[in-house]
Structure 1
Amino acid sequence: MKHFLLKWIISTISIAIVVELLPGIQFDSFTSLLLTSLFLGIIGPFLRAIMILFTLPLLLLSFGLIYFVINGIILYIASGLIPGFSIDSFWAALLASLLISMAVTLINWLIKDNRKRVVVYRD
């Protein structure tokens, strides 16, 4: 639960940063930002898995670049489902998905846990 909460906070911060950078994405309220982040964290992986399954040949041929298109589609779907969240075009969603991925990666890198963990198995 703690790990999911941390990922949700990181995702929310990343989306908020991207919204400030891109003019084609708008949130009416902080609640819609939180709902979008929650949607991308819970529903997004299921949609992503289904879309990857159907686009696997393209994913392999594009060396994984289609993954950003899939993320853009999921973000565009979220804008249609969540009230108070709008994206002007698919290209804005595609660019936003790329920037969100970069922001999440950067934030995760900055706060990564460097502690070593020792696991003891008992018979």
Structure 2
Amino acid sequence: MLRFIVQFLVTCFGLWLSSRLVPGVDFLSNGSLLAAALLLGLANAVVRPVLTILTFPLTILSFGLFLLVVNAAVIGLVAALLGGFVVDGLWAGIGAAIVTGIVSWIAGWFIGGETRRAD
């Protein structure tokens, strides 16, 4: 449960930072930011793996760069479903995907992975 809350907060921060750095990404309220982070977490758990499998040949041909388009599509889907979250086009979605990805990567680096030890 704690891991879910931390991931939710990291996603919130990544989306908020995207709205400040990337032109074309905006939130109408703090509630829509929280809802977008929750929906993005759900979409990343359900929709993104399906899209990743379906676009695997394009991902191989582009040396993995097509995953940015997949991530932008998931962010665009969340924006389409949520009225208070605006993403103006593919490039804004790619910028938001890059920013949220970097924030998640840095947070994962600081937080570290979950290590289990055998007792």
Would you call these one fold, judging by a TM-score over 0.5? yes
Amino acid at match of 2:106: L
**Residue 36 (str. 1) matches residue 39 (str. 2):** no
- Distance in 2, matches of 1:81 and 1:8, equals 18
Paired residue secondary structure (2:118) = coil
Structure 1 unpaired stretches of 5+: none
Structure 2 partner of 1:76: 76
Structure 1 partner of 2:11: 11
Q: How many residues are treated as equivalent by the alignment?
A: 119
- Distance in 2, matches of 1:13 and 1:44, equals 16
- Distance in 2, matches of 1:117 and 1:104, equals 21
Q: How does 1:1-123 map to 2 (within 5 A)?
A: 1-112=1-112, 117-120=116-119
- Distance in 2, matches of 1:34 and 1:17, equals 13
- Give me the CA root mean square deviation: 1.6
Output the TM-score relative to the length of structure 1.
0.88
Output the TM-score relative to the length of structure 2.
0.90
Bigger relative CO (Cα 8 Å, ≥ 6 apart) = 2
Deviation at 1:116, TM superposition (A): 6.2
Aligned structure 1 segments of 4 or more residues deviating by more than 6 angstroms: none
**Contact persistence 2:18–2:95 (CA under 8 A):** no
